[in-house]
Amino acid sequence: MAIEDDVCVIGGGLAGMTAALRAAREGARVRLLSHKKSTLRHASGLVDILGYDDDELVANPFDALASLPESHPYRRVGGDAVRAGLSLFDDVTGDAYRGNHTDANALVATHGGTVKPTARYPTRVAPGLASQDRKTLLVGFDSLTAFDAPLAADHLAAAGVPGTTRGVTVGFPGDFRADSRVTRFARALDDDETVEIANGSMPVRRALARAVESHLGGAERVGFPAVLGEEESGAVREALESSLGVDVFEVPMGPPSLLGLGLEALFQEALDEAGVRRTTGNPVVEFDASDERIRSVSTDRNGRPTPFHADEFVLATGGLVGKGIDSDREEVVEPVFDCYVPHPDDRYEWFADEAFGDHPFARFGVTVDDDLRPLDADGRTEYDNLRAAGGVLGGVDFAAEKSGSGISLATGHAAGRAAGAATNQ
Amino acid sequence: MATETEALVIGGGSTGCGIARDLALRGVDTTLVERGNLTHGTTGRMHGLLHSGGRYAVSDQESAAECIAESRVLREIASHCVEMTGGLFVQLPADDDEYFEEKLAGCRDCDIPAEVISGEEAREIEPYLTRDVERAIRVPDGAIDPFRLCVANAADAEEHGARIETHAEVTDVLVEDDQVKGVEIRHESGPGKRSHHEPGTTERIEADHVVNATGAWAGELGAMAGVDVEVRPSKGVMTVMNTRQVDTVVNRCRPKGDADIIVPHETACILGTTDVEVEDPDDYPEEQWEVDMMIDTLSELVPILGEARTIRSFWGVRPLYEPPDTGTTDPTDITRQFFLLDHADRDSLAGMTSIVGGKLTTYRLMAEQITDHVCEKLGVEGSCRTAEQPLPGSEDFSVLRDYMEEFGLRSPIGRRSTERLGSKADEVLKTDDPNPVVCTCEAVTRAELDHAIADAGTDLNATRIRTRASMGNCQGGFCAHRIAALLHPEYDEATTRTALDELYEERWKGQRHALWGEQLSQAMLNHALHATTMNRDRYPAASDDGIEYDRFDAGPPTPEAAADGGRRDDAHERADSREDDHGD
């Protein structure tokens, strides 16, 4: 029997999940197709709206939106859509995130020892904000090489953060392999496993507090790499705070990022509650269109196509990282619908010479109209019932201006609302 | 005030380091100066082929015979730098039968073990070879690590009393009365624990004899002494693949041509190469057509290369030389022989010898002949021992056992670390501290990096060369910051930050030639991790403008304030209860 829905969203990242959720709230029957693990496992878990505008650090992203170039996705959807996307985000994440009490950006310490402007931050991160004038101790683990706490502390001090920042490296208590993944530490803390230490054994939360205790000095807060539990992170932090007698926070980390994965889990829970049907594991490889409308897309399941029919489609397959935009030596393409992706013919014009230069490749993506419908090379709508959201959109280097999550939320929200509304007509 | 030495060797490539080692072993007081780091010139920019001699068996049999002899020597003295992969000369339908027979006969004339195998047998050895393979000649080609080789030679020279001065550029050759008296060098900031001089300071080094071993740069050095050295630098591209599509060196069996060799090297394969004469060995175009040609032409031989992931490309310049008036127009026809230019005979300029041409496989033989010549000039007796005396790290074969259990490492890492470290493995890897893997692509552990940093200091590219850290698929995206962090606290935050930027930029440079498909995706991920997650493109500590921290969110208002208009009370429950736990 044919699979039929009102709205079909392709791509299970932040933009796709937001679009699916928003469309479902319009009362639509929604299908979310995702192929591989989403790129949220690479993401810090911070939700940035806009951190830099023309190289200037932005204190209030909402003030800066209007001055962005016309081609910017935020200009396409408008400032209200940015707020609406964030509001949906706040609703989904509830107590797990902070930052909705103000329009101002927060500055969060990164594991590389800089501070990063961001609009929403996990509650686990909140006590660590750089603008608080407090004595801070950063704690790293000697087998977790991605976070060198003494170095990060020196970087932060050199950046002039208020208060004092010290760093110390300790061994994670217990007999873990030198190459344990962060999830192994997190699980041990979730379960409060009993670990062997120098003189006997004790639960790992207590053992960790004990390992840090003697380094406290006069610290008013202690920051750990973001490995303090997956399921029970609140309990882990509370246990450490009560043992140490100070606030405990976490520093966002690179992949695999527990904060990014945690964010994904919150959205998936909301999707299930909203009745969104999720189909995962197979790529969309072809589609059927007539009269300038997409009729169905098909996933490839071991060589057999499975068609999914819908009235409205949302393309949220991500950018270069998630392969929503792909390339070979000759050209850059959007592989699902072959939407137009502007790019120079000569691939030696795709990059800047400096590592952090103004890379054209970072802006690769589809161009859209004000309703987020992809445009062809002549500026005409590709399909009447196809909208694009998130990283697949071009015209912006989200990494340089720190806007990736914000764009996903704002455009995901706008695309989902429009798609849902269209099916009601 | 001048420093004095008996022999001064200019150039820290394989030839210069080989000469310095040989001289030092014969008891000559030796100084080596290099403008960059060791391997900075051509040595660090080649495909890592240990020639059986098969490539020259038709065109240049003298070179071919030297290659097989020296290959045998290097397998003995530098086993930790060599992987004997074996090699194939593969004939496709378009390739000439007659040339195939000449190649086979040539190998036999030169004492190169050579065996003809069928196309089917060749595909059993290398399953990714095209189905069209007619037949192949099997020869003892191998892969050699030029970085380790060079460092091992320099280390042994130092152990025998030589002074090795890197980051020291020759600014003038001192000539008096048709006699080279020495050189003037300018010190640049040198990394690490090596004692370097103040950057920007100059030093006069007086020498009884100067050896110009600057390869492609020999003409420039010669000019400082007022002599012509007609070196003809020729560039070639090397394209690095993400994995070992072949485990054997694969050569196309045809007379000559670009893009005809694939060399497996550690975890990667290197495709080579082009051969285009350039004016200036420091400034020449790195061109897209060269990269495209590697992939397009070599995928005729190994079709999967057309689809496979390229992680970067780099270029090197060959130090080709031919005697004046030879007049060869095509650089591929210029001999690969080396030439010893005795400027006393040639230009009536005493006290200096130049060495040009040649290739890595025969570096030791070249060094021996130069050293014989220099010793004769200096009146030093003593015979060459470099063909018998193993290089450091290679002498104790028992250390190449599996160290897995002893060091608590998982097997591929243990094996590979010990291969990289040779007999130093025991000393380096035996640590009481946890020894996590820092570079996962290449499986390089912290202990190994710490050991390399002890030598190379803040020059993380030198550490990279010693360990291969950051040379895999991610090109430093996942590990560059972890490697840099190992410099701290010995070096301060600003130094660490600069060192990281240098490493990251260097990795970027080569990736620019591989930016499509998977590697473009990787580049965007690296950009996101470093610019977004770490915000490394905006290090506040690196900027002159301070941040006005009080303009930014300092966290949700206190519960009392929230009651007065905060948007969400429930958010603060935990913060609330926490304050009761500790009232400081």
Find how far residue B272's CA is from the centre of its chain: 15
Amino acid at B75: R
Same domain? For B136 and B236 the reply is: yes
Query: Which of A234, A251, A268 lies at the terminal end of a domain, its last residue?
Result: A251
- Residue B486's pLDDT is 96
Residue B413 has pLDDT above 70, yes or no: no
Contacts of A380 (CB under 8 A, 6+ apart): none
Contacts of A143 in chain B (CB under 8 A): 434, 436
Partner-chain contact B434 A155, CB within 8 Å: no
Q: What is the mean pLDDT of chain B?
A: 86
Listed residue (B285, B291, B319, B316) closest to B305, CA to CA: B291
pLDDT greater at residue B180 or residue B199: B180
Partner-chain contact B533 A323, CB within 8 Å: no
Across residues A206-214, what is the average pLDDT? 96
Residue A11 domain-assigned (yes or no)? yes
Find how far residue B510's CA is from the centre of its chain: 13
Partner-chain contact B552 A398, CB within 8 Å: no
Same domain? For A205 and A277 the reply is: no
pLDDT tens per residue across span B60-70: 899 999 999 99
Residue A308 has pLDDT above 90, yes or no: yes
Same domain? For B285 and B307 the reply is: yes
Residue B161 domain-assigned (yes or no)? yes
pLDDT band at B523; cut points 50, 70, 90: very high
Same domain? For B254 and B365 the reply is: no
Query: Rounded CA gap, A363 and A350, in Å?
Result: 10
Query: Rounded CA gap, B401 and A310, in Å?
Result: 62
Residue B569 has pLDDT above 80, yes or no: no
Query: Rounded CA gap, B434 and B167, in Å?
Result: 34
Six token digits for residue A22: 């928003």
pLDDT tens per residue across span B511-521: 999 999 999 99
Quick check: bond before B434 cis, omega within 30? no
Residue A319 domain-assigned (yes or no)? yes
B237, B287, B553, best to mutate vs chain A, most A CBs in 10 Å: B553
- Which residue has 């950018």 as its token pair? A319
Rg of chain A over Cα atoms, rounded to whole angstroms, equals: 23
- 3-state secondary structure (DSSP) of residue B470: coil
Same domain? For B373 and B499 the reply is: no
Partner-chain contact A110 B488, CB within 8 Å: no
- Residue B566's pLDDT is 36
Partner-chain contact A101 B568, CB within 8 Å: yes
Query: Rounded CA gap, B584 and B580, in Å?
Result: 10
Partner-chain contact A142 B555, CB within 8 Å: no
Across residues B187-194, what is the average pLDDT? 59
Same domain? For B299 and B171 the reply is: no
Same domain? For A241 and A273 the reply is: no
Query: Rounded CA gap, B387 and B391, in Å?
Result: 10
Same domain? For B437 and B460 the reply is: yes
pLDDT band at B559; cut points 50, 70, 90: low
Query: Rounded CA gap, A58 and A52, in Å?
Result: 5
Amino acid at A382: E
B574 touches chain A (CB under 8 A): yes
Name the residue facing B578 among A107, A151, A241 (closest C-beta): A241
Name the residue facing A145 among B438, B541, B548 (closest C-beta): B438
Q: Residue A198 belongs to what domain range? A: 126-251
Residue B167 domain-assigned (yes or no)? yes
pLDDT tens per residue across span A60-96: 999 999 899 988 999 999 999 999 999 999 999 999 9
CA distance B496 to chain A (A): 9
Query: Rounded CA gap, A423 and A313, in Å?
Result: 11
Residue B504 domain-assigned (yes or no)? yes
pLDDT tens per residue across span B322-379: 887 777 777 777 777 889 999 999 999 999 999 998 899 999 999 999 999 999 999 9
* Domain CATH for A297: 3.50.50.60
Amino acid at B103: K
Same domain? For A291 and A212 the reply is: no
Residue A121 domain-assigned (yes or no)? no
Residue B428's H or E segment, with its range, is: helix B425-429
- Residue B456's pLDDT is 84
CA distance B516 to chain A (A): 5
Same domain? For A273 and A340 the reply is: yes
Query: Which of A231, A251, A271 lies at the terminal end of a domain, its last residue?
Result: A251
- Chain B's closest residue to A39, CA to CA, is B525
**Domain count across chain A:** 2
- Residue B394's pLDDT is 67
Residue A38 domain-assigned (yes or no)? no
- Residue A203's pLDDT is 96
Query: Rounded CA gap, B38 and B462, in Å?
Result: 8
Six token digits for residue B391: 């290089």
- Which residue has 């599509």 as its token pair? B245
Query: Rounded CA gap, A257 and A236, in Å?
Result: 17
Listed residue (B119, B123, B354) closest to B218, CA to CA: B354
Query: Rounded CA gap, B275 and B261, in Å?
Result: 13
Contacts of B113 (CB under 8 A, 6+ apart): B52, B107, B139, B140
Name the residue facing A151 among B295, B493, B512 (closest C-beta): B493
Partner-chain contact A104 B553, CB within 8 Å: yes
Residue A106 domain-assigned (yes or no)? no
Query: Which of B294, B321, B348 lies at the terminal end of a domain, its last residue?
Result: B321
Contacts of B355 (CB under 8 A, 6+ apart): B15, B19, B211, B212, B213, B218, B338, B339, B340, B341, B366, B370
ipTM of the complex in this document:
0.96
Residue B372 domain-assigned (yes or no)? yes
Residue B404's H or E segment, with its range, is: helix B404-407
Contacts of A242 in chain B (CB under 8 A): 581
Same domain? For A233 and A292 the reply is: no
Same domain? For B532 and B440 the reply is: yes
Q: Which of residues 523-542 of B touch A (CB under 8 A)?
A: 523-525, 527-541
B313 touches chain A (CB under 8 A): no
> What string of H, E and C letters represents the secondary structure of chain A?
CCEEEEEEEECCCHHHHHHHHHHHHCCCCEEEEECCCCHHHHCCCCECCCCEECCEECCCHHHHHHHCCCCCHHHHHCHHHHHHHHHHHHHHHHHHEECCCCCCCEEEECCCCCEEEECEEECCCHHHCCCCCCCEEEEEECCCCCCCHHHHHHHHHHCCCCCCEEEEEECCCCCCCCCCCHHHHHHHHHHCCEEEECCEEEEHHHHHHHHHHCCCCCCCEEEEECCCCCCCHHHHHHHHHHHHCCEEEEECCCCCCHHHHHHHHHHHHHHHHCCCEEEECCCEEEEEEECCEEEEEEEEECCEEEEEEEEEEEECCCCCCCCCCEECCCCEECCCCCCCCCCCCCHHHCCCCCCCCCCHHHHCCECECCCCCEECCCCCECCCCEEECHHHECCCCHHHHCCHHHHHHHHHHHHHHHHHHHHHC
Query: Kind of pairing, strands A194-197 and A200-203?
Result: antiparallel
Contacts of B127 (CB under 8 A, 6+ apart): none
Residue A55 domain-assigned (yes or no)? no
pLDDT greater at residue B407 or residue B393: B393
pLDDT greater at residue B232 or residue A224: A224
A236, A320, A359, best to mutate vs chain B, most B CBs in 10 Å: A320
pLDDT tens per residue across span B486-513: 999 999 999 999 999 999 999 999 899 9
Same domain? For B123 and B194 the reply is: no
- Residue A198's pLDDT is 83
**Cβ B134 vs Cβ B240: under 8 Å:** no
Provide φ and ψ at B419, rounded to 5°: -65, -40
Same domain? For B135 and B248 the reply is: yes
pLDDT tens per residue across span B237-247: 999 998 889 99
Residue B421 has pLDDT above 90, yes or no: no
The string of DSSP codes covering B246-266 is: -SSEEEE-SSS-SS-EEEEET
Contacts of B493 in chain A (CB under 8 A): 113, 151, 154-155, 157-158
pLDDT band at B189; cut points 50, 70, 90: low
Q: Using alpha carbons only, give the angle A266, A271, A277 rounded to the nearest 5 degrees.
A: 140
Partner-chain contact B547 A115, CB within 8 Å: yes
B561 touches chain A (CB under 8 A): no
Same domain? For A342 and A409 the reply is: yes
Same domain? For A224 and A279 the reply is: no
Same domain? For A376 and A328 the reply is: yes
B565 touches chain A (CB under 8 A): no
Query: Which of B378, B412, B447 lies at the terminal end of a domain, its last residue?
Result: B378
B485 touches chain A (CB under 8 A): yes
Residue B78 domain-assigned (yes or no)? no
- Chain A's closest residue to B409, CA to CA, is A178
B551 touches chain A (CB under 8 A): yes
Residue A419 domain-assigned (yes or no)? yes
Q: What is the mean pLDDT of chain A?
A: 94
Q: How many CB pairs under 8 A join A and B?
A: 237
Same domain? For A131 and A228 the reply is: yes
Residue B447 domain-assigned (yes or no)? yes
Residue B54 domain-assigned (yes or no)? no
Partner-chain contact B533 A44, CB within 8 Å: yes
What are the Cα distances from residue B114, in Å, to A242, B129, B183?
74, 19, 47
Residue B425 has pLDDT above 90, yes or no: no
Listed residue (A131, A259, A42) closest to B529, CA to CA: A42
CA distance B518 to chain A (A): 8
**Cβ A400 vs Cβ B537: under 8 Å:** yes
B432 touches chain A (CB under 8 A): no
CA distance A324 to chain B (A): 10
Rg of chain B over Cα atoms, rounded to whole angstroms, equals: 27
pLDDT band at A424; cut points 50, 70, 90: confident
Quick check: bond before B489 cis, omega within 30? yes
Same domain? For A242 and A265 the reply is: no
Give the residues across from B506 on adjacent strands: none
Query: Rounded CA gap, A390 and A13, in Å?
Result: 9
Residue B193 has pLDDT above 60, yes or no: no
- Chain B's closest residue to A57, CA to CA, is B547
- Residue A1's pLDDT is 59
Residue A282 domain-assigned (yes or no)? yes
Q: Which of residues 53-92 of B touch A (CB under 8 A)?
A: none
- 3-state secondary structure (DSSP) of residue B231: strand
Contacts of B9 (CB under 8 A, 6+ apart): B16, B19, B20, B23, B30, B31, B32, B33, B211, B213
Contacts of A241 in chain B (CB under 8 A): 578, 581-582
Partner-chain contact B520 A327, CB within 8 Å: yes
What are the Cα distances from residue B25, in Å, to B30, B119, B253, B391?
10, 48, 41, 12
Query: Rounded CA gap, B337 and B357, in Å?
Result: 6
Residue B579 has pLDDT above 60, yes or no: no
pLDDT tens per residue across span A127-154: 999 999 999 999 999 999 999 999 999 9
pLDDT tens per residue across span A10-42: 999 999 999 999 999 999 999 999 998 777 888
B326 touches chain A (CB under 8 A): no
Six token digits for residue B239: 């394209």
Name the residue facing B527 among A131, A346, A359 (closest C-beta): A359
pLDDT tens per residue across span A342-372: 999 999 999 999 999 999 999 999 999 999 9
C-alpha distance across the termini of chain B, in Å: 64
Same domain? For A280 and A415 the reply is: yes
Least confident span in A164-173, B109-118, B452-461: B452-461
Query: Rounded CA gap, B388 and B364, in Å?
Result: 11
Listed residue (A159, A146, A67) closest to A109, CA to CA: A159
**Domain count across chain B:** 4
Same domain? For B216 and B249 the reply is: no
Query: Which of A186, A216, A251 lies at the terminal end of a domain, its last residue?
Result: A251
CA distance A412 to chain B (A): 20
Q: Residue B454 belongs to what domain range? A: 431-541
Contacts of B430 in chain A (CB under 8 A): none
Q: Using alpha carbons only, give the angle B307, B308, B312 rounded to the nearest 5 degrees.
A: 125
* Share of residues in chain B with pLDDT > 70 (%): 89
Six token digits for residue A156: 């932060």
- Which residue has 């850290």 as its token pair? B469
* Domain CATH for B279: 3.30.9.10
Same domain? For A238 and A302 the reply is: no
Partner-chain contact A95 B408, CB within 8 Å: no
Same domain? For B355 and B245 the reply is: no
* Share of residues in chain A with pLDDT > 90 (%): 88
Quick check: bond before A423 cis, omega within 30? no
Residue B330 domain-assigned (yes or no)? no
Partner-chain contact A43 B436, CB within 8 Å: no
pLDDT greater at residue B276 or residue A302: B276
Same domain? For B373 and B440 the reply is: no
pLDDT tens per residue across span B74-90: 999 998 888 899 999 99
